[in-house]
């Protein structure tokens, strides 16, 4: 029997239908010489330390580090019945086709089961980007040898074992150290979760310590040939900061008085630039999560679940867990079929589609930029759009719009900058004039792209050098600099993906690629959800903030583990294993050595917990910590936002415990 091993029941059902395996069994479909079954996600999991040795049931620093000599996995209790189904079918199979998701995790889900079951028969790989019938038939016609994707499995194992080594050893180490210092809970440490937490802790601290600076702007209302427009005063360098803001009130007041005594401004320079704006790429998962967070208010996990539903349940869009928005060049030939499917699914888009040109080849079609997957786009076949929920429909329309934009002209506009002089004061006016709407027509009433132009909507009159403009009104505006914005979940995803841009160390910046991130498209949402569920992050409106325990963890763990650059370098190592440039054993050996060094280095450390020795919350009795608001310092309950207890700042407490931090050993990656 030829057995197809899928990841989820829904995949199994779709593939079985195409194969003609119509007989439904327990946990499988069968047909003439064909079997289709599934794993329901991970059927097996890495065993905990106590499975290797009973003494590890007690958390003790003396037992650390815990390094398995032979790595073990065990069947998950919840899915044990399905594992038995797969095991029995494998015993009857003469040939296997791995049909799990086409990524590292999908490869690992299948191959760990095959290893545990001892399957030794021939293996092929089905590589799917969509679950509609045409895509399945196309993929079945070009099955890959299993050897081509085996390194994906090794890469996933490297990720899994690195997570285990850091999570099990560092969590036990710092939890025990925390208990010695009076912390009663678990201090959970993770390879990806801790650097992600560090991003939020650093941002919260930057906001809390931010001191606003005053600056002044002057807005001038001008008229030329009966058309009113606005100009901004340009302060002299002697009164401005590096960003060009006037930071000296006396300079702004002098300019205000000078302008108020004037009635005209002279144009001294006019510069107009024609700008051609290319359409945004189709979505990768991270970009989709950012847009849905910003525009639809969705959590990143919600966006992933909706995208997965559009892919699996409705067959409306392609595989969502992709890290690129680019498309294979040969898929351009399928554009006409996709357009027909879009109209059949939703006739209301027919008029818009008639304005597209499928002969256009945007920058999205680039084989060199396509990875194992391509951008998220609509599928080749119609689907029942009425079956979508309101949220699914909103996300589907975003995906569809980004695809249709590829077949419309560039958006073109003229950007004009006018320099004026008025009573020895320099003024500047900016404006735009749309020349061709182009792909922007797809986004009418729907701002969805992260590449939106930051343009003034002001239309300027036809100004020329030496023209005189009448001055009508002058306004001075006292302003203050603003602190960094709190992370939303979408912005946190963006920071995780683009972590290389945030690294300041010149050596690391050279090592990291611009595309290197922490976590993967498949895992970032679950990392953020895990931090929320553990109480290390909490939501306030659309933003996320670090809890008291988060500050304790970040202040306690080795800097290298909390440093996002470290995890980004690991992600590069996983890519190297996938590409054959590094071996799994070599990577784990180096990580084992590093874990040994860290345990020895921190074994006798005394933690200084972040929680204060300040007053007790009058509402719930928990401890309080000092925070800074717009009116100065105050005590806030450490259980905020669940508890809103506050007290005014009193005399400083004696909470002066400090921990002398020794320099930890660096990871030899």
Interval 93-138: pLDDT, tens: 999 999 998 888 899 999 999 999 999 999 999 998 777 888 899 8
Predicted pLDDT of residue 614: 55
List the structure tokens of 262.
């004037």
Predicted pLDDT of residue 356: 96
Predicted pLDDT of residue 101: 87
What is the Cα–Cα distance from 105 to 579, expressed in whole angstroms?
Answer: 16
Closest residue by Cα to residue 437 from 456, 470, 410: 410
What is the Cα–Cα distance from 584 to 228, expressed in whole angstroms?
Answer: 68
What are the residue ranges of helices labelled H in 181-216? 193-208
Does CATH number 3.40.50.300 belong to domain 162-208+485-606?
no
Contact 83, 40 (CB under 8 A): no
Place of tokens 């597209």: 356
Architecture of the structural domain at 285-407: Orthogonal Bundle (1.10)
List the structure tokens of 635.
């005590």
Predicted pLDDT of residue 447: 46
Predicted pLDDT of residue 515: 59
Q: Which of 319, 403, 602, 640 is catalytic?
A: 319
The listed CATH number (3.40.50.300, 3.40.50.2300, 3.40.50.140, 2.60.40.1250) that belongs to domain 2-142: 3.40.50.140
List C-alpha distances in Å: 16 to 37, 38, 125, 139, 463.
Answer: 9, 11, 16, 14, 69
DSSP states of 507-531: HHHHHS-TT--SS-TTTHHHHHHHH
DSSP states of 574-604: HHHHHTTSS-HHHHHHHHHHHHHHHHHHHTT
Predicted pLDDT of residue 653: 37
CATH class of 214-275+415-477: mainly beta
319 catalytic? Reply is: yes
Query: pTM for the full model?
Result: 0.80
Chain region(s) in the chain for CATH 1.10.460.10:
162-208+485-606
Predicted pLDDT of residue 370: 82
* Percent composition of the chain: helix, strand, coil (DSSP 3-state, to 5): 40, 20, 40
Predicted pLDDT of residue 655: 35
Q: Enter the DSSP assignment of 144.
A: E
Chain region(s) in the chain for CATH 3.40.50.140:
2-142
What is the Cα–Cα distance from 217 to 223, expressed in whole angstroms?
Answer: 20
Predicted pLDDT of residue 625: 65
Convert the pLDDT of each residue in 38-94 to its tens digit. Answer: 998 789 999 999 999 999 999 999 999 999 999 999 999 999 999 999 999 999 999
Chain region(s) in the chain for CATH 1.10.290.10:
285-407
Residues (pLDDT < 70) of the chain are 445-456, 507, 509-516, 608-617, 620-626, 628-630, 638-642, 649-669
Give the number of other CB atoms < 10 A from CB of residue 546.
23
């Amino acid at each position: 029997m030829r057995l197809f091993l899928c990841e989820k029941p829904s995949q199994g059902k779709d593939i079985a239908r195409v194969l003609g395996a119509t007989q439904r069994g327990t946990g499988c479909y069968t047909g003439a010489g064909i079997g289709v079954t599934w794993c329901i996600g991970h059927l097996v999991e890495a065993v905990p330390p106590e499975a290797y040795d009973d003494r590890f049931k007690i958390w003790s620093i003396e037992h650390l580090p815990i390094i398995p000599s032979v790595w073990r996995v065990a069947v998950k209790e919840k899915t044990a019945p399905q594992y038995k189904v797969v095991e029995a079918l494998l015993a009857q199979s003469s040939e296997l086709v791995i049909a799990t998701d086409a990524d590292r995790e999908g490869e690992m889900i299948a191959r760990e089961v095959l290893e545990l079951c001892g399957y030794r028969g021939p293996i092929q790989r089905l590589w799917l980007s969509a679950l509609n019938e045409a895509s399945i038939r196309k993929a079945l016609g070009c099955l890959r040898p299993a050897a081509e994707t085996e390194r994906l499995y090794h890469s996933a194992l490297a990720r899994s074992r690195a997570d285990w080594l850091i999570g099990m050893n560092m969590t036990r180490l710092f939890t025990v150290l925390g208990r010695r210092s009076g912390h009663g809970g678990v201090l959970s440490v993770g390879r990806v979760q801790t650097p992600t937490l560090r991003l939020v802790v650093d941002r919260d601290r930057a906001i809390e310590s931010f001191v606003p600076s005053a600056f002044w702007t002057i807005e001038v209302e001008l008229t030329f040939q009966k058309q009113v427009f606005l100009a901004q005063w340009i302060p002299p360098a002697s009164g401005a900061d590096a960003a060009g803001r006037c930071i000296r009130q006396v300079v702004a007041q002098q300019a205000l008085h000078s302008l108020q005594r004037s009635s005209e401004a002279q144009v001294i320079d006019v510069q107009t630039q024609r700008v051609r704006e290319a359409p945004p790429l189709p979505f990768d998962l991270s970009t989709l999560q950012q847009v849905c967070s910003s525009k639809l208010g969705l959590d990143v996990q919600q966006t992933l679940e909706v995208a997965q539903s559009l892919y699996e349940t409705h067959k409306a869009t392609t595989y969502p867990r992709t890290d690129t928005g680019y498309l294979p060049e040969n898929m351009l030939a399928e554009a006409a079929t996709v357009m027909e499917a879009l109209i059949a699914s939703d006739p209301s888009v027919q008029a818009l589609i008639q304005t597209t040109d499928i002969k256009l080849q945007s920058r999205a079609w680039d084989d060199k930029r396509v990875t194992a997957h391509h951008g998220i786009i609509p599928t080749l076949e119609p689907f029942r759009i009425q079956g979508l929920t309101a949220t699914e429909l909103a996300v589907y329309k975003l995906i569809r719009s980004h695809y249709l934009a590829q077949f419309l002209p560039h958006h073109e506009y003229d950007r004009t900058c006018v320099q004026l002089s008025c009573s020895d004061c320099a003024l500047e006016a900016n404006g735009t004039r749309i020349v061709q709407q182009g792909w922007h027509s797809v986004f009418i009433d729907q701002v969805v792209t992260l590449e939106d132009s930051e343009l003034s909507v002001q239309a300027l009159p036809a100004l020329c050098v030496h023209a005189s403009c009448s001055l009508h009104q002058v306004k001075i505006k006292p302003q203050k600099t603003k602190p960094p914005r709190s992370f939303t979940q979408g912005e946190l995803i963006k920071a995780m993906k683009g972590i290389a841009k945030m690294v300041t160390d010149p050596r690391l910046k050279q090592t990291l690629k611009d595309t290197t991130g922490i976590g993967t498209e498949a895992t970032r949402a679950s990392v953020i959800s895990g931090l929320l569920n553990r109480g290390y992050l909490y939501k306030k409106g659309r933003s996320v903030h670090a809890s008291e325990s988060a500050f304790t963890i970040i202040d306690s763990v080795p800097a290298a583990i909390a440093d996002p650059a470290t995890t980004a370098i690991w992600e590069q190592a996983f890519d190297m294993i996938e590409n054959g440039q590094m071996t799994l054993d070599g990577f784990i050996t180096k990580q084992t050595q590093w874990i040994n060094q860290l345990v020895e280095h921190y074994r006798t450390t005394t933690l200084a917990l972040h929680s204060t020795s300040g007053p007790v919350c009058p509402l719930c009795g928990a401890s309080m910590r000092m925070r800074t608001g717009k009116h100065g310092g105050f005590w806030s309950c450490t259980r905020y936002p669940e508890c809103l207890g506050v007290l005014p700042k009193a005399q400083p407490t004696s909470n002066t415990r400090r921990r002398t931090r020794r320099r930890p050993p660096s990871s030899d990656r």
